[in-house]
A = this chain, B = another copy of it.
């Protein structure tokens, strides 16, 4: 059997565009001799549709799209299509829809497999919308039995996971059914299909391959998985569709972070040549870069923006965001705005200019001193006699925010936010100041990782100026200010934050694990708890770690949290 993995980039809710894309990939797969083409989970409507699923018209339109796609298969000789979609759940009670895989063949919906396991953790909300599958079965296409699964259905193998999240294993159940088939069918090569919408985080591609290989070996089956690709708000789907043989060896692999169409032979498929670079944990820095580029590109494109605007401080965070924006959108679509104050160091503007020159982007300069002075004049009746402090520091950041938004409103360019994960964790940022913007490009990148990404950006030629890479971090909001005035050095801070924010370790655990004083740890963790209100007003953060800020991390504000 010749199976095509159609790794497409759908837009949520764009039934017309997604249907056209599915049919275009189907045509290409047909020309390549495919007998079956797999499309990702919920390919018809895009993943994740969130509360759009609660609108009846949305579910109706998904049904109409599936009918249109099925009609394409009416022509003799065309391949069958397996396509993720949403369908009404016909039940006396419970949730009103199901997440399904529809097998389209001969002009009709030939078979429906229902998703059994509905992820509920981190960014996933599937138990909010979907009734779990009432049952599942094998289907037969051209004499070949097929075990069809949807994403999470394949993620519950008792041999692979130390603790399972669900009581049933849909793959095991389907393979049990296989053994009970007529001898002629039971003797056919075992094929497990999985259609997915599995978002990226560092290390996820490696994990996915290991897990699917373990599944293949345990069941002696070919496993073919197609994954969605593309950015949808915070989530970046990496694609990286793959197939493994019954021995767990890779027999097909699609691109990461781009649409692709690859073929899988279910019998006698040769192993593909080993590639040390691909998906190995040692090379994830490049994957994070690619993910951020795709996430930025798709957010602007799917929101209808061509151009981006970045405030350039001369520092490393804004430099990285500008470099990512240039790769995502082209230098001609990115503008850098320098907005120095009297507290900006002499080198800041020069560094920002050098960056803009390296990247080939337009650079504009607006000094904020006069606006700041006028604000202070206006505030004098209320501020007279008080000392320069937080209000004055934040005001400078907010003037910059106001200028960025004014230029954005005037030119139609989207402002990209430049805060990193260390800042977002500790609240070392100004709400409505440096936090303004439509997308927090590096909001899930620790400061120490920012340096690594800049080194990666410079791997072929200097894009981020060396002076920017090597100066000590500073917000430059008061004379001689350094980040280390308020925070521990980032190589001490980041591991503590990572343990707390991503792994939910306690202060005691962190102190022990990292050899720190527990009171010092507690002091840092309190910063995280105190700044939750800022994060809840932040722009969407592109997710590149297992636990990022946003929908996958839901904390109360008005709470007493002991750290």
Are B370 and A374 touching (Cβ within 8 A)?
yes
Protomer copies: 2
Q: Please choose the segment from A66-74, A260-268, A346-354, A533-541 that sits at the chain B interface, where 4 or more of its residues have CB less than 8 A away.
A: A533-541
Asked, given contacts A367-B378, A432-B405, whether A298 binds B558 with beta carbons under 8 Å apart, the answer is yes
Do residues B382 and A407 form an inter-chain contact, with CB atoms below 8 A? yes
Contact yes or no, B394 A409, CB < 8 A? yes
Q: Indicate whether A484 reaches chain B with its CB closer than 8 angstroms.
A: no
| A321 contacts partner chain B, Cβ-Cβ < 8 Å | no
Q: Is the CB of A395 within 8 A of B406?
A: yes
Pairwise interchain contact B94-A165, C-beta atoms closer than 8 A: yes
Contacts of A299 in B (CB 8 A): 557-558
Is there an interface contact between A55 and B163, defined as CB atoms closer than 8 Å?
no
CB atoms of B94 and A556 under 8 A apart? no
Chain B residue nearest in CB terms to A408: B391
A residues contacting the other copy or chain, number (CB 8 A): 93
CB distance from A226 to the nearest CB of B (A): 22
| 9-residue interface stretch from A6-14, A33-41, A238-246, A512-520 | A6-14
Name the residue of chain B whose CB is nearest to the CB of A158.
Answer: B93
Cβ–Cβ contact B52 & A555, under 8 A: yes
With A57-B506, A406-B394, A562-B61 already in contact, the answer to whether A556 and B13 are too (CB < 8 A) is yes
**Closest B residue, CB atoms, query A164:** B93
**Residue-wise interface mask of A (381-396) relative to B, using a CB-CB cutoff of 8 A (1 in contact, 0 not):** 1110010011110110
Q: Does A485 reach chain B (CB closer than 8 Å)? A: no
Q: What's the Cα separation between A378 and B165 when bound, in Å?
A: 57
* Candidates B302, B382, B401; contact of A558 at CB < 8 Å: B302
A54 cross-chain contacts in B, Cβ below 8 A: 504
Q: In the complex, what distance in Å separates the CA atom of A502 from the CA atom of B351?
A: 50
Our pick among B165, B302, B399, B432 for the contact of A559 (Cβ within 8 Å) is: B302
* Residues of chain A whose beta carbon lies under 8 Å from any beta carbon of chain B: 11-15, 17, 46, 48-52, 54-57, 61, 92-95, 120-121, 125, 127-128, 163-167, 231-233, 298-299, 302-303, 364, 366-368, 370-371, 373-375, 377-379, 381-383, 386, 389-392, 394-395, 398-399, 401-403, 405-407, 409-410, 431-432, 436, 438, 504, 506, 533, 536-540, 551, 553-562
